[in-house]
Amino acid sequence: DTGVSQDPRHKITKRGQNVTFRCDPISEHNRLYWYRQTLGQGPEFLTYFQNEAQLEKSRLLSNRFSAERPKGSFSTLEIQRTEQGDSAMYLCASSFDGPGETQYFGPGTRLLVL
């Protein structure tokens, strides 16, 4: 396994457009996490899945954001009606289930909203 992959690596869009990002976790991992990182800050938790179930969503995740993991493998994060404040790096991580299980991060998708 080559690790967590994310697609696309970069996305430039105009304000008001919808965007969708994909994350492919490490294949044996049943937990998948999404984080957002703005310039000069550490990553902030958005949401996570255990298999196909979305177990927690941060208050940062407004109703314009939706995430899915339909078959418990890859996940998508969609942002509707993008705003300039959505510009950030979106990071995906995966892990085994269990307390303290190490989260392995993908390379991220950098979003720029013009």
Partner 1 sequence: GEDVEQSLFLSVREGDSSVINCTYTDSSSTYLYWYKQEPGAGLQLLTYIFSNMDMKQDQRLTVLLNKKDKHLSLRIADTQTGDSAIYFCAAYWEGGKLIFGQGTELSVKP
Stretch that binds partner 1, among 14-22, 61-69, 74-82, 100-108 (CB under 8 A): 100-108
Pick 19 or 93: Cβ nearer partner 1: 93
Pick 70 or 100: Cβ nearer partner 1: 100
φ and ψ at 97, to 5 degrees? -80, 140
The SS3 assignment for 86 reads helix
Pick 17 or 62: Cβ nearer partner 1: 62
Pick 19 or 35: Cβ nearer partner 1: 35
Stretch that binds partner 1, among 18-26, 68-76, 80-88, 90-98 (CB under 8 A): 90-98
**Cα–Cα distance, 30 to 95 (Å, whole number):** 7
Question: Taking CB under 8 A as the rule, does residue 40 contact partner 1?
Answer: yes
* Helix boundaries (H) for the chain: none
Burial of 98 (0-12, 13-18, 19+ CB in 10 A): exposed
CA distances from 114 to 58, 70, 77, 78, 91 (A): 25, 31, 19, 17, 20
Contact residues: partner 1, CB under 8 A: 4, 6, 31, 33, 35, 40-45, 48, 55-56, 91, 93, 95, 99-108, 110
